[in-house]
Structure 1
Amino acid sequence: MVLTASAEASAQVLAIGDDGAVTTYAGPAVHSSEGVATIAPPEPAPLVRAPPEDVIRLIQESSARHAVPATIVEAVAWQESRFNHAAVSSKGARGVMQLLPTTASDLGVDPSDLKGNIDGGAAYLAQQLRRFGDVKLALAAYNAGPKAVERYGGVPPYAETQSYVRAIMARLAAVSALGAGAQ
């Protein structure tokens, strides 16, 4: 059997996860005497569930390192994954902070590494807080992207983003109320 790679050839591969999520890959095709075979991208490192106390500790460390209140990073992590480092979205976002591979790469972190994932999420959140100077806008940018926030001049009118921002702000208000009640 002879295999040859063709630079202009491509194929589409669908991967269906255990949870029913469908991922589509468009990639190179390998031509052989038996026909065309696709080459799927390499599988990312498997994610594992981390104990919540490890997640909280890493959130506190990353929050301090990036000068972002831990309550905000914790609220984002909870909304994104419920602290589940094994979470993978239908869009390919991974881990506790649900980092997209391109975002993780831009931040120089490995999204499958718990510490790197949380540190990358805290760093990205810090960038958005500095960029917009407002928690709601930073949260909207974390969810929908900063360009969407700029395009709409505020929280984009996407139902998912509106709900995301409301849920996190409600969690932050509840944490604040609990803290005020303890004094």
Structure 2
Amino acid sequence: MFRGASFAWISGAALALSLTAGGPALAQVLEIGDDGAVTTYAGPAVYTAQGAAPILPPEPSTAQTAPPEEVVRLIRESSVRHAVPAEVVEAVAWQESRFNNAAVSSKGARGVMQLLPKTASDLGVDPGDLRGNIDGGAAYLAQQLRRYGGDLRLALAAYNAGPGAVDRHRGVPPYAETQSYVRAILARLSATQAVGARAE
């Protein structure tokens, strides 16, 4: 017989056969119907008395979420005013708040761009005002891009952890939150560019 084989009856007429070899276990399930027809399932599936159905993988976390029209318009205006690509401002807004101007973090950061009170004050904007929040976020991004010579990774890290942390570590700080933050935004930008390329 098969080494490491296991058998299980699924609903009277269906037989599941799983063969394992050294390493991760991979299963192939054979469903034998009442009429003798054999169906093979090679991926994950749910098995019931009515038969089997494949389990579909979840959507990737970088799936595009469209911002509200007013947010899009304000992002475009602010990106022109502060010479920051609109796609970058949009990706930061998505990561920070999912475009929710009512969002407030545990540290008191507010709005679409999650501006801290001191940052908003330094920039001369009202963090509760949608236009002011987006314009302040774009201005702060522009400051960080200038500070780090156009290095987007460092500018994003500074937006999240503060420029002091980036300067101390001479690069993206070794904080899990900041590293995940930078990766997520770069992945969204990459996905946005891929969608744009397909549309052309």
Query: Normalization by structure 2: what TM-score?
Result: 0.65
Picking from 107, 112, 126, the partner of 1:110 is 126
| 1:124 is aligned to 2:140 | yes
Sequence identity of aligned pairs in percent? 82
CA deviation map 1:91-150 (0-9, x unaligned): 000000000000000000000111000000000000001111201100000000001011
Alignment of 1:62-73 (within 5 A): 62-73=78-89
The code of the aligned residue for 2:95 comes to Q
The alignment covers a number of residue pairs equal to 133
Aligned to 1:145: 162
Matches within 5 A, 1:4-153: 52-132=68-148, 133-153=150-170
For 2:110 and 2:117, locate their aligned partners in 1 and report how far apart those are by CA, in whole Å. Answer: 8
Q: Distance in 2 between matches of 1:180 and 1:150?
A: 35
2:28 is matched with: none
- Structure 2: which amino acid aligns with 1:136? R
Aligned equivalent of 2:32: none
Q: Which has the higher contact order (CA 8 A, sep 6+)?
A: 1
Higher helix share: 1
Distance 2:164 2:117 in 1: 18
Separation in 2, partners of 1:87, 1:182: 32
**Structure 2 portions without partners, runs of 5+:** 1-66
Which has the higher Rg, Structure 1 or Structure 2?
A: 2
- 1:153-172 alignment runs, 5 A limit: 153-172=170-189
Q: Which runs of at least 4 in structure 1 moved beyond 4 Å after TM superposition?
A: none
For 1:166 and 1:175, how far apart are their aligned partners in 2? 14
Distance 1:182 1:108 in 2: 39
Aligned-CA RMSD value: 0.9
